[in-house]
Amino acid sequence: MSTLTIDTRAVVWSVPESDRAAALAERPLLVLMHGRGSHEHDLFALAPFLPAGTVIASLRAPLPLGGAFSWFPAGMPGDPSQEAADAASIAVLEWLETVPAAGRVGLLGFSQGGAMTMHLMRHAPERFAAYVNLAGFSIAGELPEDTRLESLRPPVFWGRDPADPAIPALAVDRTAEWLPSRSTLTSRLYPGIGHSISREEIDDVNDFLHDDGLS
């Protein structure tokens, strides 16, 4: 069992609890994961611009950080420990086991949350239908499922500003080397957006999710 847990009371849903089981039985689930120093309401603001056919659940990261939250402890930017990422990923997978009738599931994360999408892919590559990594990165180290990813090649969208000031070049280079052989990669650059998300990017994400059956 993970020593971290997802606070189920803090999850923000696009569907009321009374209708959730029925909605999840018919519609895919899109799980949102915010960046470091943020909270569950941050990415949920994108819900009106995401595919209308999905049920959206926005998670709160498990580690308090001032008045906000983080997926990993503070450390070298772009280079969290694999053990910390493992613990956070297991917490998400354990939370997902409590969600009723969750069939097709997609992941969308920003920054640290984007790194989470990549790490969850390495833990449970067949559990998720599509992965959206916005301004995130892959984490150094090896996991048992890494070799299988080379044959599974799950669909990944990776969007970023090539001059993103928050993600070190080392993390970007590592991700650019790691992803192509382990995913069916859609990579997009958005010069000038910095460490943020643009409407053009979200339009591209919608196209990607539609193509992979998450809309």
Residue range 9-46, pLDDT digits in tens: 999 999 999 999 999 999 999 999 999 999 999 999 99
Rounded to 5 degrees, what angle do the CA atoms 114, 118, 123 make? Answer: 135
Residue 120 has pLDDT above 50, yes or no: yes
Distance separating alpha carbons of residues 125 and 137, to the nearest angstrom: 17
Helix (H, G, I), strand (E, B) or coil at 127: coil
Mean pLDDT of all residues in 106-134: 97
Specify the pLDDT at position 134: 98
Residue 152 has pLDDT above 50, yes or no: yes
Specify the pLDDT at position 2: 52
Tokens of 162: 């090539």
Residue 153 has pLDDT above 90, yes or no: yes
> Which ranges constitute the DSSP H helices of the chain?
17-26, 40-44, 82-96, 112-123, 146-152, 169-178, 199-211
Residue range 69-116, pLDDT digits in tens: 999 997 778 999 999 999 999 999 999 999 987 789 999 999 999 999
Mean pLDDT of all residues in 184-213: 96
Distance separating alpha carbons of residues 2 and 9, to the nearest angstrom: 18
Residue range 155-184, pLDDT digits in tens: 999 999 999 999 999 999 999 999 999 999
Residue 192 has pLDDT above 80, yes or no: yes
Residue 213 has pLDDT above 90, yes or no: no
Specify the pLDDT at position 129: 95
Residue 1 has pLDDT above 50, yes or no: no
Specify the pLDDT at position 212: 81
Helix (H, G, I), strand (E, B) or coil at 72: coil
Domains and CATH numbers, the chain: 8-211 (3.40.50.1820)
Model confidence band, residue 187 (pLDDT cutoffs 50, 70, 90): very high
Distance separating alpha carbons of residues 57 and 17, to the nearest angstrom: 11
